[in-house]
Chain A
Amino acid sequence: EAGVAQSPRYKIIEKRQSVAFWCNPISGHATLYWYQQILGQGPKLLIQFQNNGVVDDSQLPKDRFSAERLKGVDSTLKIQPAKLEDSAVYLCASSNGQSLNSGNTIYFGEGSWLTVV
């Protein structure tokens, strides 16, 4: 089956510019996640969707980050305006259930690498 698709793979922008990342989860996966992975750190959850509803966005910097999943399938993560510290890999992931403790597994995309200069 096709994996989680993300684009663009690489993006370089100047600070204060905006950027958008797109994600298409595995077909049939209702749960979609956006993670931020800063160099040398583990991924940190930004936002979790269940279908088109937000389950958790407590760690999303809402003054500059926004995400949507309007039709409950693909999703877009936007950063506006970008800061230097936003340089990171943005990982999209999906799972076949909301609760990982039910044996569901998260599948990750290859990531979108952002450099802010």
Chain B
Amino acid sequence: AQSVTQLGSHVSVSEGALVLLRCNYSSSVPPYLFWYVQYPNQGLQLLLKYTTGATLVKGINGFEAEFKKSETSFHLTKPSAHMSDAAEYFCAVSDFPTGNQFYFGTGTSLTVIP
């Protein structure tokens, strides 16, 4: 079965600093990986996804993530944090091969300090 682990339930960064949110997955087959963002009192919005092909995936709002099979990781980064990035971020993996559903991590709350 697939699963993801998000290291660090809370991350604080200064405005303009690098954002790094960690996600490690467990899967016996090539995974499909996703990052979602959840702003307060809102639903989840897709940031980016990795299916096949290029291991560096670019998403919305300047975020990107790199699939590293050797490290079983899919960390989310953004070069320069903005106040509007403050939110909850969820990493997810879809089950393979059916791909019918997601398995979400427990989430990382990002705080941006002015």
Contact = CB atoms under 8 A, between A and B. Distances in A.
Interface of A: 4, 33, 40-45, 48, 55-56, 91, 93, 98-103, 105-111, 113
B32 A100 contact: yes
A111 B42 CA distance: 7
B49 A41 contact: no
Nearest to A106: B102
A99 B99 contact: yes
A45 B49 CA distance: 19
Contacts of A4: 43
B45 A41 contact: no
Nearest to A59: B101
Given A42-B107, A43-B104, A45-B101, A111 B43 contact: yes
Contact of B32 (A40, A98, A101, A110): A101
Contacts of A102: 99
A100 B105 CA distance: 17
Interface of B: 9, 32, 36, 41-46, 49, 51, 90, 92, 94, 96-102, 104-107
Contacts of B106: 40-42
Nearest to A104: B99
B8 to A, nearest CB: 14
A44 to B, nearest CB: 7
A4 B106 CA distance: 23
B101 A109 contact: no
Nearest to A113: B41
Contacts of B102: 43, 45, 100, 106
A48 B43 CA distance: 17
A41 B46 CA distance: 18
Given A43-B44, A108-B43, 20 more contacts: A33-B101, A40-B107, A43-B102, A43-B104, A44-B104, A91-B44, A99-B98, A100-B99, A100-B101, A101-B94, A101-B96, A101-B99, A103-B51, A105-B49, A107-B46, A108-B36, A108-B45, A109-B43, A110-B42, A111-B42
Contacts of A44: 104
A89 to B, nearest CB: 9
